[in-house]
Structure 1
Amino acid sequence: MPEIIEQPARPYVGVRRHITMTTFGEVADRISELIGWLAERGLAPAAGPFLRYHSIDMAADRLEVEAGVPVAEPVEGEGEILAGELPAGRYATVTHHGHPDQLAGVIGDLLKWTAEQGLEWDMTEADGVERWGCRLEIYNTDPRVEPDPNNWDTDLQFRLA
């Protein structure tokens, strides 16, 4: 069941890309690189890695997505690796246990639940393009520990207006 949580600002490092649904790997596959980059600097992730959706244009199959890894304290980026901060605020959240391919249905349920609650997203829409203040998929399961994606836990956290 979805719930509303309050989140503080959270520093992270990430890589941002303009992609399509068929080129999703260009950003998602960078998570291990980000974790390795942190390890080279003696830093560990502060929480599970995530995908952050900045803009979504499904009709044109264009997305702006960032792969990110939270860190305990802000760090400087380098090259393509950017330093950022997830904004503080109220988030609608739900945890999905199962294959990431099933997230579309869970997202639909979260969007419906939020509308039923009379809540509004930190999102603007113009010409069919959604621009999100903070829309996250947080991957809580390490695939090296649990290789079966049917046993993975993913948190959706969408910031509210």
Structure 2
Amino acid sequence: MPSPCSHCRDNGLQCLVNPASGRCSKCVDRNVKCDLIVTQPEWNRLDRDKKRLQEQLRRAQEETVAAHSRELRLYQQLAQIDSREKEMFQRELASIDEVRVIEEEEQNCQSQPGILLPAASGVASPSFSGFEWNVLYSPYALDLSLEQAFAAPSGDTGQSAPNCSSSS
């Protein structure tokens, strides 16, 4: 704390100094010359405090920038997860639609007399011997590439693979 000027000291007033002008507020109000002397250690302390606060401010700004960058990165990651979630949901819907189509085809085949499904007839085509027919009815083992093979004739034997669209 600086030593008060003679006017403030003589009148028992609190001497508040403006660091820019070096004069106390009471002398400024009275418009008189202030005999206040600010010592060098007081200026040094003031400079140290100012530098300390500037450093704290700089660190706080860096932390703010880092936090903002982290926030943006988290938003981007969340957007990617949302996108993958939508994609997975669309694939699941497509899979459900495929299962519905297969179930409808099975119902149509069962409702048409004279068409025997391979699993029900116990007779397998020679070109598909060793093939596990039950995988065709599993929604987890759908392979649409086999659809063409079942629709085409199965060779020289004159037999064709079961197809609900063919008539007996």
State TM-score, norm by structure 1: 0.18
Would you tell me which structure has more strand in proportion to its own residues?
A: 1
**Structure of greater Rg:** 2
Identify which of structures 1 and 2 has the higher relative contact order when contacts are C-alpha pairs closer than 8 Å and 6+ apart: 1
